[in-house]
Amino acid sequence: MIELDDIKTAAERIAGHVRRTPLMAATALEAPPTRAALHLKLECLQASGSFKARGATNKLLATPPEALKAGVVTASGGNHGLAVARAARSIGASATIFVTTSTTQAKVDKLNALGADVTVIGSVWNETNEHALAFADRHGAAYFHPFADPLVVAGQGTLALEILDQNPGLDTVLIAIGGGGLITGMSVALKALKPDIRIIGIEPVGAPTFHASVAAGGVVALDAVTTRVATMACAKTDEALFERARPLIDEIVLLEDAEMLDAAKWLWFEMGLAADLSGAAAVAALRTGKVALPPDAVACALVCGAGPDALMD
């Protein structure tokens, strides 16, 4: 899949095209989610509203221009689609984005504002992706996989390089899991640079893709996906991705959608951050006690995506 050198190359390639987002100490809180020293990595402030800008930009810049003449296409729960639409717009290429029926209207509206051709179809990403692949075959558009493309995964891994540069003393990182590209890219970099660091993945109870695969000893397809969190609603991950990530992840915890919504409301009340539910997942794992950290821990909770979820519910 990828190695540390691929992530370092990606960091050089996308420099100047994406933002170096803040790593902010979560202090002066009315209701601290943990007694440990907590830092929030604010990828909700990233270009396009999430970490997905890193992977999509790396993929775009590494793709030969002739392969982009027919435009780009992808399937998404929202955030990857926004990142691909932004990347395509930056070079004047057309973007066709297929999104799930659970994708928030706010993200569909933003895709339209970016000039993308948007089709809402499929209840979960895996179904939606079939339509994107068919479109790519028919029209010759460049297909950007949201989590299994090595260039996308390497781009997401640049987030780990940035975090450790901002705070080398971190000993725990909490990462939301959708398809698995983010946690794979970050885990490769984190464990290569700091082997003792603890990596905790978070999934919805209604889409425990990695959790179920770990329990089964290999990739499984979920019988049903019931989460309302479109950006974390994946019925099956990629086998190569899973095998690369599995030995690097220390723990995976499951959360109810309501627990992520409560955490999104907490982020707005305490920090003034408008996070989507996936962006609130890491904080939710701490607030619910499903991840308990010792007081001397130095942790990073990734706020991976923006959205008005807490303000609209």
- Over the stretch 187-203, which tens digit does the pLDDT of each residue have? 999 999 999 999 999 99
Q: pLDDT at residue 312 above 80?
A: no
Which fold is adopted by the domain 53-143?
Rossmann fold (3.40.50)
Q: Do the domains at 4-50+149-312 and 53-143 have one common CATH topology?
A: yes
Q: Letter for the amino acid at 201?
A: G
Structure tokens at 224: 């049903």
Interatomic CA distance for residues 152 and 180, integer angstroms = 11
Domain ranges of the chain: 4-50+149-312, 53-143
Please report the pLDDT score of residue 313 as a whole number. Answer: 60
Residues 140-151, mean pLDDT to the nearest whole number: 97
Residues 289-294, mean pLDDT to the nearest whole number: 97
Please report the pLDDT score of residue 311 as a whole number. Answer: 83
> Where are any strands of DSSP class E within the chain?
23-25, 37-42, 72-76, 95-99, 117-120, 142-143, 172-176, 198-204, 251-255, 298-303
In the chain, what percentage of residues exceed pLDDT 90? 98
Please report the pLDDT score of residue 310 as a whole number. Answer: 82
Please report the pLDDT score of residue 1 as a whole number. Answer: 81
Contact between 309 and 277 (Cβ < 8 Å)? yes
Please report the pLDDT score of residue 17 as a whole number. Answer: 97
Contact between 141 and 71 (Cβ < 8 Å)? yes
| CATH pick for 4-50+149-312 out of 3.40.50.1100, 3.40.50.720, 3.40.50.300, 1.10.10.10 | 3.40.50.1100
Residues 65-91, mean pLDDT to the nearest whole number: 96
Residues 161-166, mean pLDDT to the nearest whole number: 98
